[in-house]
Amino acid sequence: MKYNIAVIPGDGIGPEVTAQAKKALMAVANVYNHSFSFKEALMGACAIDATGAPLPDETLSLCKKSDAILFGAIGHPKYDNDPKAKVRPEQGLLKLRKDLGLFCNVRPIKAYEQLIGNSPLKKEIISGTDIVIYRELTGGIYFGIKELSDDKTIAFDGCSYSVEEIERIAHLAFKEAQNRRKKLTLVDKANVLETSRLWRKTITAMANQYPDVQLDFLFVDNAAMQLILNPKQFDVILTENLFGDILSDEASVIGGSIGLLASASVGKKTALFEPIHGSYPQAAGKNCANPLAAILSAALLLQHLGLHKEANAITNAVEKSLELEISTEDLNPERAFTTSKVGDFIADYI
Amino acid sequence: MKYNIAVIPGDGIGPEVTAQAKKALMAVANVYNHSFSFKEALMGACAIDATGAPLPDETLSLCKKSDAILFGAIGHPKYDNDPKAKVRPEQGLLKLRKDLGLFCNVRPIKAYEQLIGNSPLKKEIISGTDIVIYRELTGGIYFGIKELSDDKTIAFDGCSYSVEEIERIAHLAFKEAQNRRKKLTLVDKANVLETSRLWRKTITAMANQYPDVQLDFLFVDNAAMQLILNPKQFDVILTENLFGDILSDEASVIGGSIGLLASASVGKKTALFEPIHGSYPQAAGKNCANPLAAILSAALLLQHLGLHKEANAITNAVEKSLELEISTEDLNPERAFTTSKVGDFIADYI
Ligand SMILES: CC(C)[C@H](C(=O)O)[C@@H](O)C(=O)O
Ligand SMILES: CC(C)[C@H](C(=O)O)[C@@H](O)C(=O)O
């Protein structure tokens, strides 16, 4: 089969790690007789520098025509502390999510046995953890109205959610729970927020359509604590955009390394796959960043295209690299391999 | 000296733990020759049940006349999952914070050597951690407009911050940093939120008034991760209301027990002191809840009144109880003491 894949390397370490993910996909194409046509496009700080816009029109239209999108990372410190910046890299990613209708971000969190020692958490706490976070991605305070008073002394962010926005991701999360351990936890702040109460009410009303799923509720502050105290209690976590952002980064510590966490953003049509680590500008260009999350994002991409054998080939290669400690310095400080060496090993192994 | 102390036991385990804090204060009064006049008042679910209002007028006026407020906990599950509930317990606490101008919530997070083994985090990660979180408490999305569309399909929460609201708590946080290790970290989501950008801009502009303080910035998703990966990197953390709610509960895992975390809410005049654990309804009435956070809240209260020797007497007694393992079942499952027995020991030791 032939697939068109849009590749958006983005900022910081994005280009380096995405290159390894491409390598893995090319190896898969070779072995399994597929043809992937990769087209690269700009987004983020690099796009602002080159075109003035964080998401150039060509990037958006390329994405719309593609079967899937492989994305690296976004963001650059030169924009972070400049309150006067009119455009910011992140706007590119947010607009892409919105324009492609990528309302559902799926973040699997697993404790890899080989990496358990790297986690700040005790082995007995994390061993066996297997969570998927379903984060709403195109609503909430991320996309509400933003205002700054004329005299610049009062700022405002609006947060809204509709029943429709809640239901469409909730159906996906309920179904995922049915295919897993049949437990769904809604995380909200219903004791304070109107939007959270709408989430709780909507999900509660849906529960009878999924009688085999055990539904429970947790306030976000408590969830932030429970994720560390006892991560094994969770199966599927469903939550709104901002809470999902915070909790999924927090949960990344469980696996022993954020360098292994991939995510899928799905929705109306074309889906996007990205590592959850950011652009990590300090490491950019040094060929030292961990490419595994990007490579595992490519595995999620294959799965999404229905290529399950192919996806497993990648996951197996990644596990082999961990077993043999062919890893970058974050996992293997004593005998570190470079980003591209790890990518080479994985492509060869496939 | 004579002090008027308003006592609001609240819901769930609130009454039981607050009773132990009172005992400790009475012991202090005895030894150091003070007179504390305690007046009790209702707030929360118990106040709704008794009066229909989560914060009765008498409670508010009692608080306004008092030198300090000792508070237990709030919340009851019967209100959590009832989207039709017109009044909710939490509204009482939010209104009290607002009406008393308690804009600054101070939450110290320390790894107690005696409890390090209880933490889900590894010893080497947490040992020596000493953080104070300054959480803004009367602004942000907690107090913004809340709307539900007439057809009940769209919910809205507004979040706003003014320069004035940011500056008044930031001055307290900068000063605290000056008295400690001189590091202040602002946690925000300035890559997405307008309010966060106003925080960042305002704090940046204030930094030259505190040249001895090293200021840095962290996005909230990254902060949620860093708190677990390397909590020792933090000294004073400053953040807005909702982020502070989430991060301080998350950080509670560091100390080995949320049952030891006390907090002070300060602002315009009368200050309020409370354990950060919630009402924990499952344990209510069983005489098994850990009273140490409530007792340590009483120590913060004494400190706030300038009674430092007296505050130390309480802290020392608490440390002694830990050393001798005179602790409730959460800390001491094999040989658990009841809530009141732990309270008795501490009062006697003082
Ligand atoms: C870069 C940023 C806007 C983004 C977000 O907050 O959604 C990132 O943190 C993420 O989680 O993908
Ligand atoms: C009870 C609730 C409204 C409250 C809050 O969110 O502020 C609590 O979680 C806290 O942190 O004091």
Residues of B in contact with A107 (CB under 8 A): none
A205 near B CB under 8 A:
no
CB-CB contact of B250 with B220 (8 Å): no
- CA dist., res. B28 & res. B22, Å (int): 10
CA distance A4 to chain B (A): 31
Instruction: Please provide the distance, in angstroms rounded to a whole number, between the alpha carbons at the two ends of chain A.
Output: 18
Q: Is the pLDDT of residue A80 over 90?
A: no
pLDDT band at B121; cut points 50, 70, 90: very high
Cβ atoms of B234 and B227 closer than 8 Å? yes
A63-82 average pLDDT score:
90
Pairs from A52-56 (Cβ < 8 Å, separation ≥ 24): A52/A87, A53/A87, A53/A92, A54/A87, A54/A88, A54/A89, A54/A90, A54/A91, A54/A92, A54/A93, A54/A95, A55/A91, A55/A92, A55/A93, A55/A95, A55/A96
Report which protein residue has its CA nearest ligand 1's atom 5: A245
- Bridge partner residues of A7 (DSSP): A40, A70
Q: Do B90 and A192 touch (CB under 8 A)?
A: yes
Domain that holds residue B314: 1-103+268-350
Same domain? A16 vs A54 = yes
User: Ligand 2 centre and the CA of B94: distance in Å?
Assistant: 8
Amino acid at A164: E
Identify whether residues B274 and B244 lie together within a single domain: no
How many CB atoms neighbour CB B37 within 10 A? 12
How confident is the model over A117-133, as a mean pLDDT? 94
Q: Is the CB of B74 under 6 A from ligand 2?
A: yes
- A192 CB near ligand 2 (under 6 Å): yes
pLDDT tens sequence across A278-306 = 899 999 999 999 999 999 999 999 999 99
Q: What is the pLDDT of residue B302?
A: 97
CA distance A169 to A176: 11
Ligand 2 near B244 CB (within 6 A): no
Helix, strand, coil shares, percent, chain B, to 5: 45, 20, 30
pLDDT of residue B83: 63
Instruction: Provide the pLDDT for residue A223.
Output: 97
Smallest Cβ–Cβ distance between B83 and the set A156, A197, A230 belongs to A197
The answer, yes or no, to whether any atom of ligand 2 lies below 6 A from the CB of A221, is: yes
Give yes or no for A90 touching B (CB within 8 A): yes
Q: Separation of B242 CA from ligand 2 center, angstroms? A: 9
Q: What is the pLDDT of residues B245-278, one digit of tens each?
A: 999 999 999 988 889 999 999 998 899 999 999 8
Res B216: pLDDT: 96
Mark whether B203 and B232 lie in a shared domain: yes
Residue with tokens 């400190």: B303
Do both A113 and A255 map to the same domain? yes
Q: Which residues lie below 8 Å from residue A167, measured CB to CB, with a gap of 6+?
A: A202, A206
- Assess B331–A contact: CB distance below 8 Å, yes or no: no
Which residues from B are below 8 Å from A120, CB to CB? 121-122, 125, 228-230
**Is the domain of A17 the same as that of A148?**
no
What average pLDDT does this structure show over B207-227? 97
Q: What is the percent of chain A with per-residue pLDDT over 90, rounded to a whole number?
A: 89
**Could you read off the pLDDT of B48-101 as tens digits, one per residue?**
999 999 999 999 999 999 999 999 999 988 887 776 778 899 999 999 999 999
Residue nearest (by alpha carbon) to ligand 2 atom 10: B245
Ligand number with the minimum distance to the CA of B248: 2
- Residue A229 and residue A166 share a domain: yes
Judging contacts by C-beta atoms under 8 Å, the chain A residues touching residue B75 are: 191
B309-340 confidence digits (pLDDT tens):
999 999 999 999 999 999 999 998 899 999 99
pLDDT band at residue B7 under the 50/70/90 scheme: very high
Min Cα distance A326 → chain B (Å) is: 23
pLDDT exceeds cutoff 80 at A82: no
A348 touches chain B (CB under 8 A): no
- Contact A120/B at CB under 8 A: yes
Pocket of ligand 1 (CB under 6 A): A 74-75, 90, 93, 245; B 191-192, 221
Q: Do B155 and A153 touch (CB under 8 A)?
A: no
Annotation marks residue B142 as catalytic: yes
On whether both A108 and A256 belong to a single domain, the answer is yes
Q: Is the pLDDT of residue A115 over 70?
A: yes
Q: Measured between CA atoms, how close is B349 to chain A, in angstroms? A: 32
Is A135 marked within a binding site?
yes
Q: Which of A260, A279, A302 is the last residue of a domain?
A: A260
Domain-ending residue, one of A260, A278, A302: A260
Q: Which ligand 2 atom is nearest residue B245's CA?
A: 11
Q: Do A121 and B228 touch (CB under 8 A)?
A: yes
Task: Provide the domain count of chain A.
Answer: 2
- Interface probe with B: pick from A133, A202, A250, most Cβ of B within 10 Å: A250
Contacts of A147 in chain B (CB under 8 A): 194
Ligand 1 center to residue A169 CA distance, Å?
18
User: Which protein residue's CA is at the shortest distance from atom 11 of ligand 2?
Assistant: B245
Which residues lie closer than 8 Å to A308 by C-beta, 6 or more apart?
Answer: A302
A50 with A111, same domain? no
Interface membership of B121 toward A (CB under 8 Å):
yes
Do A119 and A251 reside in the same domain of the chain?
yes
Cα–Cα distance measured from residue B224 to residue B216, given in angstroms and rounded to the nearest whole number: 15
Give me A254's structure tokens.
Answer: 């469980």
Q: Are B126 and B342 in contact (CB under 8 A)?
A: no
* Ligand 2 atom 7: residue of nearest CA: B245
* CA of A248, closest atom in ligand 1: 11
Residue among B141, B191, B224 whose CB faces A193 most closely: B141
The identity of residue A144, as a single letter, is G
Which atom of ligand 1 lies closest to the CA of A241? 7
Ligand 1, pocket-test mutation among A76, A90, A138, A274, most atoms within 8 A of CB: A90
B328 and B199 both lie in a single domain = no
Residue type, B314: I
Q: Is the pTM of this model over 0.85?
A: yes
* CATH number assigned to the domain comprising residue A159: 3.40.718.10
Pick from B39, B53, B136, B65: which is nearest to B97 by CA? B136
Identify whether residues B247 and B110 lie together within a single domain: yes
Of the residues A241, A260, A279, which one is the last residue of a structural domain? A260
pLDDT at site A83: 63
Say yes or no: A152 and A250 in one domain: yes
How do A236-239 and A130-136 pair as beta strands?
parallel
Cβ neighbours of residue A226 closer than 8 Å, sequence gap 6 or more: A218, A233, A234
- What does the pLDDT read at residue B79? 84
Averaged pLDDT, B121-130: 95
Residues of A in contact with B220 (CB under 8 A): 245-246
Residue to mutate, B90, B265, B277, ligand 2, most ligand atoms under 8 Å from C-beta: B90
Give the CA radius of gyration of chain B. Answer: 20
